[in-house]
Amino acid sequence: MEAVTFALIGLGTGSINVLLAVGLVLIYRGSGVINFAHGGFALLGAFIVMDLRTRHDMSWPVALGAAVLGAAAVGLLVQVLVMRPLRTASPLARVIATLGVHTVLIQGVLLEYGAEQRTVPVPVPSGPVHLGSEVVVGKQNFYLVAIVVVVAVTLSIATLRTRMGNALTASAENARAAAALGWSPNLLAALTWGLGGALAGLAGALFPATSTGFISIGQMSVLIIGGLATALLAQFRSYNLALAGGLAIGIVQALTTRYVDQTGVADAVPFLVIVVVLVMRGKGLPVRGSAADSLPRIGTGRAHPALVVPIAVAGLALLRYATPSGWYPALIVSICFAIVGLSTVVLTGYAGQLSLAQFALGGTGAYVAGRLAAAHGWPFELALLAGVVGAMLLGLLFGLPALRTRGVNLAVVTFGLGFALHQILFSNSDYTGGEFQTKLESLRFLGLDVDPIVHADNYGLLCAVWFLVLAAVVATVRRGRVGRRLLAVRTNERAAAAMGVSVFQNKLYAFVLSAGIAGVGGVLFGFSYPTVLYQQLFVPDLSITVLVVTVIGGVGYVCGPVVGALLAPGGVAVLLFDTSSAMSSSDESFVRFVPLITGIVLVLTLVLNQNGVVDQLAAPVRRLWPRRARDDEAVTASAPRTPVAPKSLEVRGVTQTFGAFTALAEVGLTIAPGQVVGVLGPNGAGKTTLIDVVTGYNRPSSGMVVLDGVDVTAWPPHRRARAGLVRSFQSLELFDDLTVRENLLASSEEQDLAAYFTGLVRAGTPRMTDTVCAAVEELELTDVLHRRPQELSYARRRLVAIARAIAARPSVLLLDEPAAGLDEHESAELGRLIRRLADDWGIGVLLIEHDVELVLDNSDRVMVLDFGRVIAEGTPAEIRRSDAVRRAYLGESLVEATP
């Protein structure tokens, strides 16, 4: 019976989840953005009601109306002023923008009302209801449920029945579809942001009903977790699912509060459940046709030692000998922030994984190190090492969801994990040994007295040296083999796998390495205080802040975190403002505005350049010293064509169904070394699906793929690629932010494990192998090696894609419509090249083409597919004569041309 009581109480919290989630879904459908500022909107609603009811004695309808309209207006403004200018920016930039807006809203409310708890009268009728003899619940819970049921059902019906609803459904599928229905995408986005804001405002206004009339910023900042979790459950699509999911989460939360005797679990467990659901539903590789998004620009990781070394030495000297002692605390905060920022460069910049848990990982490092140092007397050096290892282990764990989820979903998951960590570990005195127990005394590092109070100068120096070392590591990683692998994964997971790059390995590597770096930052940050207060120092919001400021600084650049860290809370920026206010003491109130102003500056900077401040600064440099072709000398003239390992491919009775649809039915074929097998067939015949199955992108419903006598049907794509089964893509899927040369290198380089370690200290000189040189020569790419694919013509890009596939030294090469977009001459040239690949190198080629002549002229055998079935097979001459083929596929012109 008690369980029933708590379940019913959970309906109240669940209703708030639903309201928030419904708004999140609406905004997502209208503009493709997950609004991390949604909790801020709710906060605004709650405080508007509080203000109007308690300070101005307004009536309920007025207060409620003002909250809803106020939040709606803010939503609309955010769309028009921030999101609209960013609509073509990278998803990362857009997430950061909403996080920036979140900061601004929180700081605004903080300025006006302070952080303390306030009371508001409960907005709906309350008081106990007796259900039977044992169950007693507050009335307000039922009112809330009634309200959210009405909201969710109304939205569901409106989606089906109204023109705007239809347009939204259409635009969620395809931005242009809505335009075809006569709706401007901008209008749709503005309407949904306004409406979503209104719903969040309503959620905030109703929130006191679930907290017996108390509100505070701290309490309400947790709400977004429930909202996001619910929206994820609803797949950012269904309002009815949001209704059911939100209430269910509320109930689980209430029950956990009652029955689990562990601090924080109630807040965290529902989220962990969602993580599991998401990960189970996710895919190892993105599906075919996932849109390639624009990504923040990445630096080269190169620096002139003659420039960097003197600057670094001078900086260290200044820091140690010429800095007023009062500046050290702020400087230390900024440097530690910059170190954690470096971890973001590796993970988010290079590997493209959106993590909102970096500060939490740093906190783990501080936790492990702090406990070992304080409770077990470990020396600083060893404690630091242990902290870093601890952070790396947890980083490995946090990286696991990234193997199945990506993009913004991953941000939600990692934020939840970081949040859970804060609730369960940092806030629990059972684990931290009590709030004030991690006391650190007389710190020494390699014999140097680095006590942060007595010798702040030495401590600052220690932090700065660590930053420089780690910055060098990060830059080295960028220049080396591993850097190219990470960038390949970030740009295009499908293509990376096709070149033999293990997406799995590289993502985990990025998570572990970045967690280690964050660990160093976290330990140094924590140890800079005489007592490490984990709960206060490592709040989840700081993980957001560190990502936001690093992206503003430039997430693709090693210098990005330096610029970003200037804006860290309590960092150097505050120092500047503080000294100015010391000069005119009446300005004290101005200092209060600093966080708010910083927030606004952040959002503005982002709107102006999504690649960050450093990128902006680097622009004139790029113009003065454009990328030179100096690397091109590496191309050996007339490189030898050495035969590849001869392997034959056998496809046995492969059937592929998608639901009730059969894309391939009992297809079989054999390709011997040095043989070219052509596949003809109209659009939709199943040709690309055949390649997907052979290379591991689809698991066939039945049948077998055998390479060199080994059954590879269960192998993942990268493993097949390494074994010599390499494909090209109909849609090219080049690595757009690598140069052509780097594209080829990424594909030709060894996929060894050792590089993950040696790459930290030595970038190595990338060597163009004979195969790469030969491919460059054959496809005449020498003059574009230093260009990026986007700068080339479409035909040229197609050739790069083919060269990239050849660079991997395949035994069997599967080409998906390689001649599309080439002119007659180029396509004949390509035909001859394909013959040479087979004849000179011994590569077995599967050639899928629409250009019938190209296939018939250059293949040894030809197979014709129609509706997933093999309708003819034989030598080119036999195919030309086949009646079935003529009827089903070949045009009359060809028939006439055949003697």
Binding site for ligand ADP (CB under 6 A): 658, 663, 681, 683-689
In whole angstroms, give the CA distance from residue 577 to residue 731: 52
Minimum Å distance from CB 703 to ligand ADP? 15
Q: Which is nearer to ligand ADP, 618 or 665 (CB)?
A: 665
Question: At its nearest, how many Å lie between ligand ADP and the CB of residue 663?
Answer: 4
Residue 543 interaction partner, one of Mg ion, ligand ADP, none, beta carbon < 5-8 Å per kind: none
Specify the residue, 325 or 683, whose C-beta has the smaller distance to ligand ADP. Answer: 683
Using CB distances below 5 to 8 A depending on partner kind, what does residue 681 bind out of Mg ion, ligand ADP, none? ligand ADP
Shortest spacing between CB 688 and Mg ion, in angstroms: 3
Rounded Cα distance between 709 and 449, Å, is 65
**693 or 785: CB nearest ligand ADP:** 693
Q: Please report whether residue 882 would count as binding Mg ion according to CB under 5 A.
A: no
Rg, C-alpha atoms of the chain: 30
Closest approach of Cβ 660 to ligand ADP, in Å?
10
195 contacts which partner out of Mg ion, ligand ADP, none, CB within 5 to 8 A by kind? none
Q: Are 532 and 326 in contact (CB under 8 A)?
A: no
For ligand ADP, the closer CB: 23 or 681: 681
| Shortest distance in whole angstroms from residue 683 CB to ligand ADP | 4
Task: Give the tokens for residue 207.
Answer: 């929130």
Strands (E) across 154-202 are located at none
379, 440 in Cβ contact below 8 A?
Answer: no
Instruction: Pick what 683 binds: Mg ion, ligand ADP, none; C-beta below 5 to 8 Å, kind-dependent.
Output: ligand ADP
Quote the least distance from Cβ 667 to Mg ion, whole Å.
14
In the DSSP assignment, the letter for residue 234 is T
Using CA atoms of 213, 217, 222, 224 in order, give the dihedral in degrees to the nearest 10: 100
13 part of the interface to Mg ion, by CB under 5 A: no
Q: Which does 658 bind (CB under 5 to 8 A by kind): ligand ADP, Mg ion, none?
A: ligand ADP
| Phi, psi angle pair for 569, to nearest 5° | -60, 130
Half-sphere exposure of 158 (CA within 13 A, CB side): 12
Complex with ligand ADP: residue 214 or 658, whichever CB lies closer: 658
Q: Which of 156, 203, 212 is nearest to 26 (CA)?
A: 156
Q: Return the residues of window 175-194 that contact Mg ion according to CB under 5 A.
A: none
Q: Toward ligand ADP, which CB reaches closer, 670 or 731?
A: 731
Taking the least distance from each CB to Mg ion, the nearer of 615 and 816 is: 816
Reference 236, options 391, 68, 51, 27; nearest CA is 27
Angle between helices 223-233 and 265-281 (to 10 degrees): 30
Q: Are 245 and 233 in contact (CB under 8 A)?
A: yes
Least distance CB 688 / ligand ADP (angstroms): 3
* Cβ nearer to Mg ion, comparing 289 with 377: 289
Q: Which residues contact 866 (CB under 8 A, 6 or more apart)?
A: 681, 682, 685, 888, 889
Residue 730: CB minimum distance to Mg ion, A? 5
Render the burial of 500-539: b for 16+ CB within 10 Å, e for the rest. bbbbbbbbbbbbbbbbbbbbbbbbbbbbbbeebebbebbb
Q: Which stretch binds Mg ion (CB under 5 A): 408-416, 591-599, 682-690, 877-885?
A: 682-690
- Rounded to whole angstroms, the Cα distance separating 127 from 468 reads 61
Minimum CB separation from Mg ion for residue 523, in Å? 52
Interstrand relation of 661-671 and 649-658 (parallel, antiparallel or unpaired): antiparallel
189, 79 Cβ separation under 8 angstroms: yes
Which of 428, 312, 441, 296 lies closest to 377, judged by CA? 441
Instruction: State the nearest-atom distance from the C-beta of 671 to Mg ion, in Å.
Output: 18
Binding to Mg ion (CB under 5 A): which residues in 725-754? 730
For residue 817, the minimal CB distance to Mg ion (Å) is 6
- Is the CB of 638 or the CB of 683 nearer to ligand ADP? 683
Residues 6+ apart with CB under 8 A from 292: 491, 492, 733, 736
Nearer to Mg ion, 218 or 684 (CB): 684
Question: In this structure, are residues 501 and 787 in contact, taking their beta carbons and an 8 Å threshold?
Answer: no
Closer CB to Mg ion, 192 or 688, in the complex: 688
| Residue 893's binding partner out of ligand ADP, Mg ion, none, with CB under 5 to 8 Å set by partner kind | none
Minimum CB distance to ligand ADP smaller for 206 or for 663: 663
The overall longest dimension of the chain from CA atoms, in Å, is: 98
Least Å from the CB of residue 697 to ligand ADP: 9
In the complex, the smallest distance separating the C-beta of residue 250 from ligand ADP, rounded to whole angstroms, is: 36
Which residue's CB is nearer to ligand ADP, number 687 or number 727? 687
CA distance 338 to 345: 10
Give the burial string for 670-709 (b: 16+ CB within 10 Å, else e): ebbbbbbbbbbbeeebbbbbbbbbbbbbbebeebebebbe
Does residue 688 interact with Mg ion by CB under 5 A? yes
Report residue 106 CA to chain centroid gap.
Answer: 24
Under rule CB under 5 A, how many of the chain's residues touch Mg ion?
A: 2
CB of 89 to ligand ADP, least distance (A): 29
The minimum distance between CB 4 and ligand ADP, in angstroms, equals: 44
Q: What does 663 interact with, of Mg ion, ligand ADP, none (CB < 5 to 8 A by kind)?
A: ligand ADP
Return the closest-CA partner of residue 342 out of 451, 464, 457: 464
Q: Which is nearer to ligand ADP, 487 or 693 (CB)?
A: 693
Please report, in angstroms and rounded to a whole number, the separation of the first and last CA atoms in the chain: 88
DSSP-assigned states of every residue in 307-347: HHHHHHHHHHHHHHHSS-GGGHHHHHHHHHHHHHHHHHIII
Least distance to Mg ion, CB of residue 844, Å:
20
Measured between alpha carbons, how far is 99 from 78 in angstroms, rounded to an integer?
12
What are φ and ψ of residue 799, in 5° steps?
Answer: -65, -35
Q: Which is nearer to Mg ion, 611 or 688 (CB)?
A: 688
The listed partner (Mg ion, ligand ADP, none) that binds 476, CB under 5 to 8 Å by sort, is none
- Of 495 and 685, which has the nearer Cβ to ligand ADP? 685
The tokens describing 399, both together, are 């990286």
Which tokens go with 524?
């140094």
What's the CA gap between 692 and 442, in Å, rounded?
62
CA angle 358, 361, 365 (to 5 degrees): 140
> Restricting to residues 295-324, which ones interact with Mg ion according to CB under 5 A?
none
Q: Which residues bind Mg ion (CB under 5 A)?
A: 688, 730
